[in-house]
Amino acid sequence: MSSSSTNQEARLRKVELYDTTLRDGSQSEDISFSVEDKYAIALKLDKLGIDYIEAGWPGANPKDDKLFKAIKDLALIHAKIIAFGSTCKPGLKPEQDKIIKALIDARPFGVTIVGKSMDTHVKSSLKCSLEENLRIIADTIGYLKGRFPYVAYDAEHFFDGFIANKDYAVKTLKAAIKNGADRIVLCDTNGGMIPSQIADIVKSVRKEVKAPLGIHCHNDGDLAVANTISAVSAGVDHVQGTINGIGERCGNANLCSIIPNLSLKAGYKTIPEENMKMLLEISRFVDEVANLPPNRHQPYVGDSAFAHKGGIHVSAVMKDPMTYEHVDPGVVGNKRRILVSEQSGKSNIIYKAREFNVDLIKESTSAQEIVNIIKDLEDSGFQFEGADASLELLMKKAMGMHARFFKLKGFRVIVDKHSDELDPISEATIMIEVDNRIEHTAALGNGPVNALDSALRKALEKFYPRIKEVELLDYKVRVLSSSTGTGSVVRVLIESGDKKDRWNTVGVSANIIEASWIALVDSLDYKIYKDTVKEQKKV
């Protein structure tokens, strides 16, 4: 078949999306979703355009039981709620098994049943004969098919089982198909397959069975996305995965990568085209709910996915974004970022200047001066990739467009600890000058940096009342070189925010208090600066 006819076939094929974030994803070591969390994620998945949402395993834990009671009232527009369960136990009929009863009582739209498709697992885990395993697969699927419009069979460890005993692995699929399974999902449960193995086995299975096939891959070999796409190209029409690839051990196939790869690259129909830009939003939402820091290097939706640092790269991207971007970042809800560092050239500076409404041209001496200043500062330990507010202030000071709104006349920080049993007391006194007026004040804090922050705000509020709106959202300290022990240079990164914006600033020094001071000053100076600019625009 020619490549053009293959692409045409892809464009005509709809690939079903089955999300298991709420079940398989919640088995990740770092994650524990509440019922409310799962409820909220389900709404987001439905809005994205996911076809099936696997909500959990009824009867496995009280949380999932509560979820299925609550989720009945969920007003979904598109997605169907699926319950997950296993085949009945050896020696029992489905109607005698509590697991099966719990599935029916949960009243989902449909069910997905996992069963053993590898002969050694039948013997070691189920401890029954191969024939009995075929019986419980067939009876469970048949019993549930009489009660639900949708029943899928997850063939656990299928690829390993196929390699070990092809005939038996296929027999388990046929047992499910004969009794009404709507989907046969081939599982790379150990996540150890490679794309060529997946493709070859899927093609072989297609010759043996006629039911619609699905794929469920784990990421233990860092190939879950590639294996999933390989399976689709070999004829699979149903894809299972999780948002951000969360899941047990190394995780599951990442739908945030699978969806754009299938739709934007291979031409398959997945979610509605206009929903593609929601991928970044749902990725961040799941991370936030799971209390996980976003993976900035995640393809498509990570902060660094379309970030450019090298001067040659930036120069090329300014002329033609496709030189170093495989898709338009806006299509998946992301955006291009130009980083400024010691590796920057004039192109980086010019691009960032445009973001800050500074008009620089490549031939200007100002651009080169700023490049030199940044390179000198980064050589001493500063890093501006994650501190855009400090960078903007630096550039505008270099251009003569900004001067700090206050001057330091002096500060002192004292930490008193009188005994091992008592907490230390931190106090900061500070003197600043604003428009030739001196303000001298003091404040206590939970620590020396907090005391200094409180004293500085207290002094500035008299002149700039909106300083009260600023919150310190994050504070990070990194030791740049441990060779000198406690005398090492440290870098302090501070994230601040007000009612509308967030911004980041940086400070570097061998003295942690001074490094913190530099970052704090930039943070509050930036707040006053941006408020002043807004007021000037109103005038």
Report whether pLDDT(364) > 80.
no
- Who contacts 400 (Cβ-Cβ below 8 Å, separation ≥6)? none
pLDDT single digits (tens) 414-448: 999 888 888 899 999 999 999 999 999 999 999 99
**Bridge-based pairing state of the strands 150-156 and 110-116:** parallel
Measure the CA–CA gap between 413 and 426, rounded to whole angstroms.
7
Most confident residue range from 71-80, 348-357, 360-369, 374-383: 71-80
Q: How far apart are CA 18 and CA 216, in angstroms?
A: 9
Q: Which of 170-184, 259-273, 306-320, 524-538 has the lowest mean pLDDT?
A: 306-320
- The beta-strand segments (E) located in 329-482 are 337-338, 407-416, 425-434, 437-445, 471-479
Coil, helix or strand at residue 114: strand
Residue 383 in this model has a pLDDT that exceeds 70:
yes
Decide if pLDDT at 74 tops 90.
no
For 141-162, the pLDDT digits (tens) are: 999 999 999 999 999 999 999 9
For residue 3, pLDDT beyond 50: no
Q: Which residues of 407-420 are buried (b: 16+ CB within 10 A; e: fewer)?
A: eeeebebeeeeeee
Q: Which helix (H) or strand (E) holds 5?
A: helix 3-12
Q: 11-271 with 406-463: one CATH topology? A: no
pLDDT, the chain, mean:
90
The pLDDT tens digits for 104-144 are 999 999 999 999 999 999 999 999 999 999 999 999 999 99
In the prediction, which pLDDT does 312 show? 73
pLDDT of residue 277: 96
Q: Highest mean pLDDT: which of 258-262, 343-347, 446-450?
A: 258-262
Asked if the model's pLDDT at residue 483 lies above 70, the reply is no
What is the distance of C-alpha 321 from the center of its chain? 24
Q: Could you tell me the pTM of the whole model?
A: 0.74
CATH number for the domain formed by residue range(s) 11-271: 3.20.20.70
CATH of domain 406-463: 3.30.160.740
Q: What is the mean pLDDT of residues 199-212?
A: 96
Closest by alpha carbon to 155, among 90, 221, 217, 203?
217
Residue with token string 């495989």: 326
* Mean pLDDT along residues 86-94: 97
pLDDT at 538 over 70: no
- Rounded CA-CA distance 8/12 in Å is 7
User: Position 262: which residue type?
Assistant: L
Segments making up each domain of the chain, as ranges: 11-271, 307-398, 406-463
CA angle 281, 283, 287 (to 5 degrees): 115
Nearest partner of 50 among 28, 9, 81, judged by Cα: 81
